[in-house]
Structure 1
């Protein structure tokens, strides 16, 4: 039996439509500044000729499942959320 210095993180997973199994999440990749209209809507005009989209990652533990409650400070005036598309790449994609 392996003894850890501290408990390892729980494996994050998402439901698979039409299946009883869950898909384990190992990595989350994102693209920022890819919707010009959204940037303008948020008050951040973007010069597309200079400011290109960028890529970043987040830990799997940052995933919020569909339908879950997201807590935020009660004094929040402009709560902004985004929905992301999930693309599941199986073991062969590693």
Structure 2
């Protein structure tokens, strides 16, 4: 780890997002990926915030898994049930 530390020139700690910023972050990422509208329900966005506590890395991981599971189920929207399925399966964030 010391070798890695020596290669890092700048360190920055992101503070966790609040619930509103979490939803905006997810929406922004979808727009940048070319989505015309959100595929996450508002309740799913709330649940993502609760689980990830607004930590961007955890948000990214949970959203990626949610999209993968939703796609595998031929779903059109990511709802809270998909989020709960991921968590109950013990997916690590």
TM-score category (smaller protein): under 0.3
Q: Which has the larger radius of gyration?
A: 1
- Larger strand fraction of residues: 1
- Please report the TM-score for the alignment, with normalisation by the length of structure 1: 0.25
- Please report the TM-score for the alignment, with normalisation by the length of structure 2: 0.25
